[in-house]
Structure 1
Amino acid sequence: MSGALQVVQQSLIAALDGHQPLMDAITGIYDGPPPRARFPYIALATGAALDWSFKGGTGRELSLALTVHDDGVSASRLHHVMALVEDALASGLADADGWQIVTFDFRRARVLRSAVSPWNGLIEYRARVLKVG
């Protein structure tokens, strides 16, 4: 994981942690699906980092994804939690340690489920950041 990706993900987690309605609706936020977590919970997906540098500085374009996992009979609770995630991130992220967040955009959301697994709601964002200092 690039340094930019790691610190921007920390800023993302801080924004989610700071949104009390979301935290009341989930059991936790994890780096990946934990072995025995209670539903619903959020797991961060490994993001991707692309070069977004320019002649005078270093930049990265980051793909940030998180998945809401839920075992409900219907997808209604999952959709509610996904909406709370979007609310928590609507005002963007605080600048990350050593990186200025230039843009932070919602990219897409989708719900997935197979017959043998819980509901999964994937939410993706894109952040463009410049190295400072």
Structure 2
Amino acid sequence: MKLSMQMTITDLIRTLRWRKIALCEEAADASRPIRDEPKSGGERKPEPMTSAGLQLQKALLKLLKSDIALNEWVHRRVYDHVPEQAVFPYITLGTTSTYDWSTFTERGSEHFLTLHIWNRGTGRKTVFEIMGRLDSLAVLPAFKLEGHRLVSFTLEQSQTFSAESHGGYAGIMRYRAMTEEL
């Protein structure tokens, strides 16, 4: 008798979960905006799409290249792709991962951005100094994103190490950013 009663409760829980999921899907469909039909039979022009990840990268590059104190070390050497004869120290944009962070009413994204700091000669101290300056620059008001609002921008991890392949030292800074569409 206990087993059949337990099965009945389990079935009831499953049914309630599926109904909850169906209701959530219906609510999501209802909250999506309905686009207007083109007027007078003309074609509707596509709306310009802005990628939050791309906007975040542009804002970050602009911020890093324009900071006077940071440029005492790197002299605007902030690269997406490093030139062959790059002068040290410099900063590179590393891996960026973007995940959906949307709700029923708002579209949003979660981003993980990695910055790499490379140095030769002057050692680990310069890497730490550059990383300290990068961390002090990464504040919300500094970022202006087209079509998006930056909700948060936090340092998740930093690391320094000997980079034998580059004959010097390196640092990695990994940031987490949350954005919402405007």
Residue of structure 1 equivalent to 2:37: none
- Is residue 2:63 matched to residue 1:15? yes
- Please give the alpha-carbon distance, in whole angstroms, between the structure 2 residues aligned to 1:113 and 1:92: 34
Post-superposition shift, 1:106?
A: 1.1
Residue of structure 2 equivalent to 1:39: 88
Structure 2 unaligned spans of 5+: 1-49
Higher strand share: 1
Residue of structure 2 equivalent to 1:76: 125
Question: Retained in 2: the 8 A contact 1:67–1:123?
Answer: yes
Larger-gyration structure (1/2): 2
Higher helix share: 2
Residue of structure 1 equivalent to 2:138: 89
Instruction: Look up the SS of the partner of 1:5 in the other structure.
Output: helix
Which AA in structure 2 matches 1:3?
S
- Please give the alpha-carbon distance, in whole angstroms, between the structure 1 residues aligned to 2:161 and 2:130: 15
**What's the Cα RMSD here?**
1.8
Post-superposition shift, 1:19?
A: 1.9
Task: Give the TM-score normalised by structure 1.
Answer: 0.88
- Please give the alpha-carbon distance, in whole angstroms, between the structure 2 residues aligned to 1:111 and 1:72: 15
- Please give the alpha-carbon distance, in whole angstroms, between the structure 2 residues aligned to 1:33 and 1:21: 22
Runs of 4+ in 1 over 3 A off after TM superposition: 90-93
- Please give the alpha-carbon distance, in whole angstroms, between the structure 2 residues aligned to 1:6 and 1:69: 23
Residue of structure 2 equivalent to 1:122: 172
- Please give the alpha-carbon distance, in whole angstroms, between the structure 2 residues aligned to 1:21 and 1:122: 19
Structure 1 unaligned spans of 5+: none
Q: 1:48 to 1:14 in 2, by over 3 A?
A: same
Task: Give the TM-score normalised by structure 2.
Answer: 0.66
Instruction: Look up the SS of the partner of 2:81 in the other structure.
Output: coil
